[in-house]
Homo-oligomer: A and B are copies of this chain.
C-alpha cells in the first residue's frame, strides 16, 4: 500500500481526490488537512463520502508523512510549502497553478508574482499523462493541470502533432460549469445569478492560455490560440470547441482520423467520439461527468478548411484530481488506471 496525504482537502479538488483515492485499491490515506473542518468527519465537507470512511480532517500541522502528498492550497501558497515537502522525501502532486509553467519568467508574466521556488520549476512535470507519460514515471514533483487548458490541449494536440494546422487563427470557445469556481461564495456564484447563465467571463484571455502555449509548442513554435470562456448552466464539465484551419488541399477526413488515432492510440482515458448517427455524435461533458475520460472529436467543414475540434472533460476529474491520480500512478509504477475506473452515468 502507498500512503497519501492531502494538504488542503476540504475544497472541491480535495474532495474529488478523496473520492478517487478512497476507491483506489493500493492507496491508504494517511491524513487530510483542513483548518476549517479539523476534528470533523470528511463528510462534513464532502457529504457524498458519508459512510465511506471514518477519517477525520486534521490541522495543517498534523499532516502525516506519506509517500505522496497532494497539495490543494491556493495559487501562490503552494510554491512556498512544496519544496519543504519534497525535502522531507515525499513525492508531491501540486494541484495549484504554481508549478505548471516551466519558465519562471512566464510564471511572473501570467501570475504577476515572482516564483518562490524557481529551482523546482524545471524539475516539475506537467501532470497530463497523455503528453508526459515517460517523464511522469520518474518525477518527484508533478503539477496539476489547468482544466480549460486540458480540454483545449487534448482537442488540438493531434492537429499540431500531425502538422496539419495552417498559420491561420485558432479560436478556442470554452464552456464551463460552476464547480470550477470552487467554494467561493460571491455574487457571481450564487445560484439565482449563476443558474441558467451563459456568461462570457473570460472574453479574450485567461491564465490557462499560458499552459496551452507551453504544451502545444512544437519545434519551438506555439500556435496562437484565441481564447474565450463562458460560464454555462452545468456544475461539472467543460467543452472546448476549437475552430482551427488546416491546409485545404490534401487534408481529408481520413487524415484527421489518422491524426487523432495516432495521437491517442492506447490511451486508457481518451475516447474518440465522432458518430454519423444518433444524438451523441460529438463529445459532451454530460457523458463524462464523474469519470476520468476525455472525449475528443472533430468535424471538417465542407468546402472550407475549417476543422472543429472538440474535447469534453469533467473539470474536477480529468481537469484536476483524475489527471493527478493518474500521474501519481505513473510516478509509483502502478497501473495508471487504478482508482479511475468508475464509469460515467447516463442519463444524468
Contacts and interface: CB of A to CB of B under 8 A. Distances in A.
B192 A190 contact: no
Interface in A88-123: none
Interface in A43-60: 44, 46-52
Interface in A182-209: 183-200, 203-205
Interface in A266-291: 271, 273, 275, 278-287, 289-290
8 contacts: A44-B275, A168-B169, A179-B192, A185-B185, A188-B279, A191-B191, A228-B241, A232-B233
Given A196-B286, A204-B308, 11 more contacts: A48-B344, A50-B295, A173-B173, A200-B239, A204-B300, A204-B306, A228-B308, A233-B234, A243-B243, A289-B348, A290-B348
Interface stretch (A15-23, A64-72, A78-86, A133-141): A15-23
Interface string A317-348: 00000000000000000000000011111111
A249 interface: no
Contacts of A49: 343, 346
Interface string A234-271: 11110101010100000000000000000000000001
Closest 9 CB pairs of A and B: A48-B346, A191-B194, A204-B301, A192-B347, A203-B299, A47-B280, A233-B233, A178-B191, A185-B185
Interface string A209-249: 00000000000000010101010111111010101010000
A258 to B, nearest CB: 19
Given A183-B190, A189-B190, A286 B232 contact: no
B15 A346 contact: yes
A61 interface: no
A181 interface: yes
A198 B234 contact: yes
Place the interface of chain A in its size category: 35 or more
A157 interface: no
Given A191-B190, A312-B198, A347-B193, A230 B239 contact: yes
A304 interface: yes
Interface of A: 12, 15, 19, 22-23, 44, 46-52, 168-169, 171, 173, 175, 177-179, 181, 183-200, 203-205, 224, 226, 228, 230, 232-237, 239, 241, 243, 245, 271, 273, 275, 278-287, 289-290, 293, 295, 299-302, 304, 306, 308, 310, 312, 341-348
